Amino acid sequence: MGNTNEMSMEFDSRSCNEGFARVAVAAFITQLNPTLEEVSDVKTAVSEAITNAIIHAYDKEVKKIRIDCKVVEHEMYVTVTDYGKGIENVEKAMEPFFTTKPEEDRSGMGFAFMEAFMDEVVVISELGKGCAVHMKKKVGVGTSPFM
């Protein structure tokens, strides 16, 4: 496991931290020489997961959101974790256009975008305990990491 690099961060679930968290993850993966498109894909997916934690998990109360990010060869792994109310039916939640907050103009496309822009998305949640969104993507193929 020589060629791995890890970071994790924890921050207040304030909407003003959404941009910061996207930028931090994007900056961390620059070591893989990602294309602009790949950076946008990762930023969008991370943004969706963080927004869900702020809006759905914590109902806008200020608690903590955690991001774990790992790079192995050309693979990047990112997990967004909250300790909020959890999801009762993950399969249903992940259906495109399904949302429990239509009155707040949520589109129900959050999980759909994560799936569209990442190679793999796995959601683990327990009611009352929180939610962890694990995502994976191959990035910057054709260049060598850790330069």
Give me the residues that bind other proteins (CB under 8 A), please.
15-16, 18-19, 22, 37, 40, 43-44, 47-48, 51, 54-55, 104-110, 112-113, 116
Helix (H) / strand (E) element for 82: namely strand 75-82
The answer to whether the CB of 105 falls within 8 A of the CB of 118 is no
Instruction: Assign residue 73 a region (left: φ > 0; alpha: ψ between -120 and 50; beta: otherwise).
Output: left
- Judge whether 84 and 65 are in contact, CB under 8 Å: no
CB 144 within 8 A of CB 31: no
Nearest residue (CB) to other proteins, 43 versus 74: 43
The residue at minimum Cβ distance from ligand ADP is 110
- Please report how close the Cβ of residue 17 comes to ligand ADP at its closest, in angstroms: 15
Binding-site member from 21, 25, 87, 139 for ligand ADP (CB under 6 A): 87
Q: Is 57 in the site for ligand ADP (CB under 6 A)?
A: yes
Active-site choice (18, 22, 38, 52):
52
Catalytic site residue from 48, 75, 91, 104: 48
d(CA 27, CA 24): 5
Closest to a copy of itself by CB, 74 or 93: 74
Q: Is 80 helix (H, G, I), strand (E, B) or coil?
A: strand
Of 5, 66, 75, 106, the active-site residue reads: 106
Is-contact 136 80, C-beta < 8 A?
A: no
Which residues are at the interface with ligand ADP (CB under 6 A)?
48, 52-53, 56-57, 82, 84-87, 93, 98-101, 106-111, 131
Q: Which residues are catalytic?
A: 48, 52, 106
